Amino acid sequence: MLTAIAPAKINLSLHLTGRREDGYHLLDSLVAFTHRGDRLTVSPAPALSLEVSGPFASHMPDRPDDNLVLKAARRLQTHTGISQGAHIMLEKHLPAGAGLGGGSSDAAMAARLLCRLWNISPDEQTLATWLLPLGADLPVCLYGRPARMQGIGEQLSPAAAPALPVLLVWPGQALATGEVYQQASIPEIHGYSAGDFRNAGNDLQAPAIALCPVIGEVIAALGAQPGCTLARMSGSGSACFGLFATDERAALAAAALSGQYPHWWMMATAIAENEEMPYADAR
């Protein structure tokens, strides 16, 4: 039996740089991962199966076959010719439609755990190519450490991200990524450096707020907390993040905001160091 955390993904910055003829947007984003997220466990079984639990289990598709975790597992079987099965348990702690990459992170970690369970070892680039059709965040979630993400998500290069405490806040309203991108415009000027995320921004934030105004309220509430050094939306929303100088400040902000907005979901965690997220094996 193998188990691991599928960490929440944060887009510290995100810029749109163009659009392909097939409609896919090109982007330039600094991505980092946190220490907390969903939990996945895989164990040997005759066939593939998925069991979902946790506070956001109800956010999962009604049909298990529509879950990205099973789709990733099946693609892995197809490309490797593996006939072995596995029982996959997903403990869902991240909301869906929040811009935190929960589904992609789950699928990526499931694929990595299954490679270990089935004793197969495709290289990272090959595995990313197999899974890219499932979503643009799959390659960076497989990478699992701070990265500059370009193209449609398939171009990755190592990057530095600060190992700072972070408070994630989701106002309870999901956003469809496609709808946000449809409302977004591509800036004519890109004075953006991947390492200078504090002075960069998220080109999807304004169109997301137009579709879901409460996002602006979340950003303002986070930014008003003592010790918050940056408040911004992640990905295509609707979750936002606040960076803090200390764990204590992040915890105090979580307590204060929970009292003011009891219907908002929050998770206090920290950005992971500049290294691959470790496996947590269970035996």
Active-site choice (28, 38, 106, 137): 137
202, β-bridge pairs: 14
92 is catalytic: no
Report the Cα–Cα distance between both ends of the chain, in Å, rounded.
6
Active-site choice (9, 38, 92, 106): 9
Distance of CA 279 to the CA centre of its chain: 17
123 is catalytic: no
Q: Give the DSSP per-residue string, 256-272.
A: HHHHH-TTSEEEEEEBP
Among all residues, which ones are annotated catalytic? Answer: 9, 137
